[in-house]
Amino acid sequence: MKGNLKIYYDEEGDFLEIHIGEFEEGYFRNLGGGIFERVNKNTGKITGIAIASFKKRTSGLKELDLTLPMKIELSS
């Protein structure tokens, strides 16, 4: 999976989506517990993840330490 990492957060809905590459037609597959994987409709490949109630889950987190560029592998 190649492409730029895109991070989208809907504050009102408290929904975080992390996606790699350009958005193509697809759907979310529910993994349970408010975690979803975004699946490309044509290829069946996973192109991202989404987390419902993200802020609520991370309420105790004061800082996020990331090293860029980062490598992320998604698999089902």
Q: pLDDT band at residue 41, thresholds of 50, 70 and 90?
A: very high
Question: What pLDDT is attached to residue 21?
Answer: 85
The residue with tokens 């349970």 is 32
Per residue in 3-20, pLDDT (tens digit) is 788 888 888 998 999 988
pLDDT class for 30, splitting at 50, 70, 90? very high
The pLDDT of 28-53, averaged and rounded, is: 93
pLDDT above 70 coverage of the chain, percent: 75
- Asked if residue 52 lies in contact with residue 34, where contact means CB atoms within 8 angstroms, the answer is yes
Q: For residue 9, what are its two tokens?
A: 């957060």
Strands (E), 11-70: 15-20, 26-32, 35-40, 46-52
In the block, residue with structure tokens 């990331």: 66
**What phi and psi, each to the nearest 5 degrees, are found at residue 13?**
-90, -5
